[in-house]
Amino acid sequence: MATSAKGAAQRKSGSASQKASASKSRGSKKSPSGPPDLSRDEELTAYREMLLVRRFEEKAGQMYGMGLIGGFCHLYIGQEAVVAGMQMVAKEGDQVITAYRDHGHMLATGMDPKGVMAELTGRRGGYSKGKGGSMHMFSVEKGFYGGHGIVGASVPLGTGLAFANRYRGNDNVSFTYFGDGAANQGQVYESFNIAKLWSLPVVYVIENNKYGMGTSIDRASATTDLSQRGRSFDIPGEQVDGMDVRAVKAIGEKAAKHARDGKGPYILEMLTYRYRGHSMSDPAKYRSRDEVQKMRQERDPIEQSKARLVSDHKVSEDELKEIDKEIRAIVNEAAEFAQTDPEPDPSELWTDVVREREAS
């Protein structure tokens, strides 16, 4: 292919610089130059998006505690900058696919908070009419392809979305998210090989929040620099400070361009952290309170963005309060809807079914 020589050269320089940025992003969170600043509008957009996810998740947590949400509920609190930053580089027609920690992704793709919350409470107005629950929602309109409970499954599925983009000849990109734990599933590497072999437009976004359930990454992974997991396939990869929405956006832009330009897949390892347990039923005894506190106090993506809004963009306390108020109103409205919307009618069981003649 015509692009292959150029691609190889790019990959080389990519992996050289990523080494440097990897060690930097591990040590101090900022590389010396720091990620490029966002414009005032961009920073405000990112802030709103992250705050919406945070408040939505806090509300979902409360509602779970009140017994309004059952089964599983995996909160995204702490990881907001990842999806907020990545959505800033997505364009119409791009796809997003992830695992079960999916509420943030849905909100960021523009899905209606009411429909998401109502799915959590299993109501008619939920995105899956109450049949899916927290882990299983979908919106073709917004390019959100789920919501998957089988760890690792989002990766080949996301690769297939890219396959369709390539086949149909559009310039859309599949943003395929998965966790540090999922990164050890075999199908991830089958996907990497195929995506590279066929130059598929996919950006693999590994959300490394340091734990897969109760197992820390170093207890599950022989190598913990997950950005380098595509190396033997010659897929460029970078570690990104996933707590800094500016860094996510900047590197996301580069990766998306690479994929859109027909140069094939790109791997972004987002160094992030989940503040809550794996799911609502996990007391998270496998890590110290200090570890969590330190992250919240020193690295919180929303606090960082807020500080920049105040100091760099001279956004006033009143304006921030106003935003907070707006977002609380959106979330409250979603929660209200999710509690008053009726449960699905029993007849709903038999809609959307490929139904054979009933056996006697």
Partner 1 sequence: MAKLRYAEALNRALREEMQRDPLVFLFGEDIGSYGGVFKVTRGLMDEFGAARVRDTPISEQTLTAMAVSAAMAGSRPVLEIMYADFMPLTLDALINQASIYEYIWADQVRMPFVLRTQGGGGAGAGAQHSKSLDSLVAHIPGLKAVAPATPWDAYGLLKSAIRDPGPVIFLEHKLLYNMRDEVPDGEETVPLGRARLVREGTDVSIIASSRMVHESLLAADRLAGEGIAAEVVDLRSLRPLDLDTLLGSVARTHHAVVVNEGWRFCGYAAEVSATLMDHAFDDLDAPVARVTMPDLPIPYSEPLERAVLPGPDEIVAAVRRTVA
Ligand X SMILES: Cc1ncc(C[n+]2csc(CCOP(=O)(O)OP(=O)(O)O)c2C)c(N)n1
Contacting residues toward ligand X, per CB under 6 A? 101, 149-152, 179-182, 209, 211-213, 278
Q: What is d(CA 57, CA 83) in angstroms, rounded to the nearest whole number?
A: 14
353 touching partner 1, by CB under 8 A: yes
| Token representation of residue 101 | 């920690």
Q: What is d(CA 208, CA 98) in angstroms, rounded to the nearest whole number?
A: 13
Residue 70: name its binding partner from Mg ion, partner 1, ligand X, none (Cβ under 5 to 8 Å by kind).
partner 1
Contact 191/218 with Cβ under 8 angstroms? Answer: no
Q: What is d(CA 42, CA 94) in angstroms, rounded to the nearest whole number?
A: 20
Among 40, 48, 136, 257, binds partner 1 (CB under 8 A): 136
Residue 19: name its binding partner from ligand X, partner 1, Mg ion, none (Cβ under 5 to 8 Å by kind).
none
Instruction: Please identify which residue in the block is written with the tokens 């800033």.
Output: 88
180 touching Mg ion, by CB under 5 A: yes
Site string for partner 1, 285-304 (x = CB under 8 A): -x------------------
Site string for partner 1, 201-240 (x = CB under 8 A): -----------xxxx---xxx-------------------
Among 8, 9, 150, 329, binds partner 1 (CB under 8 A): 150
User: What minimum distance in Å lies between the beta carbon of 60 and ligand X?
Assistant: 15
Amino acid sitting at position 166: R
| Token representation of residue 291 | 């570890």
Q: What is d(CA 72, CA 134) in angstroms, rounded to the nearest whole number?
A: 7
The H-assigned helical ranges of 272-316 are: 289-299, 301-311
- Tell which positions 37-76 bind partner 1, by CB under 8 A: 70-72
351 touching partner 1, by CB under 8 A: no
208 phi and psi, to 5 degrees?
A: -85, 95
Site string for Mg ion, 129-168 (x = CB under 5 A): ----------------------------------------
User: What minimum distance in Å lies between the beta carbon of 286 and partner 1?
Assistant: 6
| Token representation of residue 121 | 């409470």
269 touching Mg ion, by CB under 5 A: no
User: What minimum distance in Å lies between the beta carbon of 205 and partner 1?
Assistant: 18
CA dihedral 102, 106, 108, 113 (to 10 degrees): -120
Among residues 15, 76, 50, 54, which one has the least CA distance to residue 249?
50
Query: Which DSSP category does 349 fall into?
Result: G
- Tell which positions 69-108 bind Mg ion, by CB under 5 A: none
Burial level of 339, CB count in 10 A (0-12/13-18/19+)?
Answer: middle
- Tell which positions 196-255 bind Mg ion, by CB under 5 A: 209, 212
Residue 133: name its binding partner from partner 1, ligand X, Mg ion, none (Cβ under 5 to 8 Å by kind).
partner 1
Phi-psi region of 213 (alpha: psi -120 to 50; beta: other; left: phi over 0): left
In the complex with Mg ion, the residue whose CB is nearer, 175 or 211, is 211
Q: What is d(CA 81, CA 257) in angstroms, rounded to the nearest whole number?
A: 20
Q: Which residues bind partner 1 (CB under 8 A)?
A: 70-72, 119, 122-123, 128, 130-136, 148-152, 181-182, 184-186, 212-215, 219-221, 286, 343-344, 346, 348-350, 353, 356, 359
Interface positions with Mg ion (CB under 5 A): 179-181, 209, 212
